[in-house]
Amino acid sequence: CAALTAYNALNGPVPIKAGDHVLVLGTGGVSIHALQFAVASGAVVIVTSSSDEKLKVAAKLGAKYVINYRTQPDWEQEVLKLTNGEGVDHVVE
């Protein structure tokens, strides 16, 4: 069920495409599946979590950028910086 939810989130009305920026909030089941689908689609993936260990796993799965929102409470500003002020094309929470 988590994989289907992630798939639908990324391939709904505006399907994901290579080069899109995808923000994945958290490292639960839906988020990890979304990360993998987004990487497979050629997207640039940013993952947030409060756990450095989980962020290491996300990076190994292909996340280009990882942000610990406990140590970086203004994580949304970091996302804007990473996307040259443009923001992301998809958000999966």
Q: pLDDT over 70 for what percent of the chain? A: 100
Tell me which residues of the chain have a pLDDT lower than 70.
Answer: none
The mean pLDDT value of the chain amounts to 97
Q: Quick: pLDDT tens for 35-61.
A: 999 999 999 999 999 999 999 999 999
Question: Three-state SS string across the chain, please?
Answer: CHHHHHHHHHCCCCCCCCCCEEEEECCCHHHHHHHHHHHHCCCEEEEEECCHHHHHHHHHCCCCEEEECCCCCCHHHHHHHHCCCCCCCEEEC
Beta bridge partners of 46: 23, 65
